[in-house]
A and B are shown apart, each in its own frame.
Chain A
């Protein structure tokens, strides 16, 4: 088999070193790793009183819980007496999860589209890029809204059918899985819709890289050796695209998180009892008034979300500086 040749101009070995030297990128990376750990590991250890609605409505941060001794609300409570700290962490699970999975999905679609377009070239390429231009100029978030509203119920039905089918065959693991999936069907449909929409930039970047790569001698050599087009794409182009794709994955995650919170803020996304940063901000924005400000309901979700998006963007920029040959000079 032909080995994967790596053109020196595109994957300079210094990439990771450049990234590691960038203090801001590393800080962002550690913040994100820490956030994921806290969001996943801390909620199960919180006292149960904090996880339910209570009569402690709209208490400021640091107030004591009325139901049990020694428990305080670290970030205050919302209208229904939920502990905001707990909701911030579960909201982080939802927001980060939606962002990551949605971005992965968009990575898959975008890479495939870009590779085919760039590798095919000629008229096919021109047509596929024209389609991309048209899609760029369509208000995509509107169609996401319509898709979610229209397809959501069908997904639930379909999952329920799968559950019954599994029940009929006595597959309890799959049945349990489906029960969980039904509970989160709203989130699932959102991830799918967002992932299928945010791939345009990825496709364009990948296509640009493929246009450069396919003229390289190692591709010509592989073709001369009689390798088929799919094999060339998989064995020679894909490995060389990895760092570019990783960079834009990092930059797509904040875009998807923003979209999700946009929808939740308008009341078309995640809703009670589940929470995401967008839905928490919606609740916070509703209680803003000059006389009796419930500042914590807005302050904590806004700060956490902004810092997270900033960290993701810093990390993405750092990755781009390290791996994108075009931005190297800057």
Chain B
């Protein structure tokens, strides 16, 4: 078990190192630096700024300076918002995106499992058909279509919920539904197929032959196995929700981490972008570790390995 954690930690460090390196090297090879577009900047002033951020010298020197800073958990300063540390900017914006992501995650996983289970149990009835066609529609309609649609109908026409913004529970409802919708559908399809497989499997037939009645006990028996593929999907799901929230934030006018990515790419803000990428990757690595451990707990046949 300890060996497993050490191996996972090492692989996580490799992933983070790669992500940070790729981001830094690519951002530094974009034509035009972070300060070239500024009007007042004479060449001397730009050079001074570049020196302050350790962005002068060869690419290798810049890269090793950045890596040395990262090794001491220092994400650096923003080159766009002067006098702001990257960690401060992220601490301000990340909670919004994380809250939105977390609520959507709960909706997607629980809603999807329930919907998929209902579809499988009432297989080939109208309930199943409606649910599965609905799921395909939800997967096919992009969030930047459902978003404005929800705003137009629920917020503007019916006037039940606010159009956008952030801060109250009411403002959380539409964005999280919008973000979760396609993934409710993914999880539901996964759950339905997996439960159908299990319901046809030998061990359940044996259990039935031994006298286990349909109903609660059977469902609990089958669900425990059928949920495993859904658990493996939770890691990618978290990754999708984190990035997917970019569009949802822009549609609902929420100032979260999504704008950091778009803006810092356009502003050549190397350190802010690098910091955001690192934080995202750390979160996802942590999350995947949790999922793997959970998987081991749920399925005794799987020995947790690296």
Contacts and interface: CB of A to CB of B under 8 A. Distances in A.
A191 interface: no
A146 B273 contact: yes
A288 B193 contact: no
Contacts of A153: 30-31
A66 B197 CA distance: 62
A329 B196 CA distance: 10
B107 interface: no
A254 interface: yes
Interface residues of A, number: 46
Contact of B265 (A138, A149, A281): A149
B187 to A, nearest CB: 16
A143 B22 contact: yes
Contacts of B261: 142, 145
Contact of B243 (A141, A267, A305, A327): A141
A261 B239 contact: no
A147 interface: yes
A266 B247 contact: yes
Contacts of A310: 136-137, 140-141
Interface residues of B, number: 49
Interface in A96-143: 130, 134, 136-143
Contacts of A143: 22-23
B26 interface: yes
A241 to B, nearest CB: 21
A283 to B, nearest CB: 12
B152 interface: yes
Interface of B: 11, 15, 19, 22-23, 26-27, 29-31, 136-137, 139-142, 144-145, 147-149, 151-152, 156, 193, 196, 200, 235-236, 238-239, 242-243, 246-247, 250-251, 261-262, 265-266, 273, 277, 280-281, 284-285, 287-288
Interface of A: 130, 134, 136-143, 145-147, 149-151, 153, 254, 258, 261-262, 265-268, 278, 281-282, 284-285, 288, 290, 293, 298, 302, 305-306, 309-310, 312-314, 317, 327, 329-330
A-B CB proximity, top 6 nearest: A309-B140, A150-B26, A310-B140, A302-B145, A306-B141, A139-B243
Given A136-B239, A138-B281, 16 more contacts: A137-B287, A138-B15, A139-B284, A140-B239, A143-B23, A145-B261, A146-B26, A147-B26, A149-B26, A149-B27, A149-B265, A262-B144, A298-B148, A306-B142, A317-B136, A330-B196
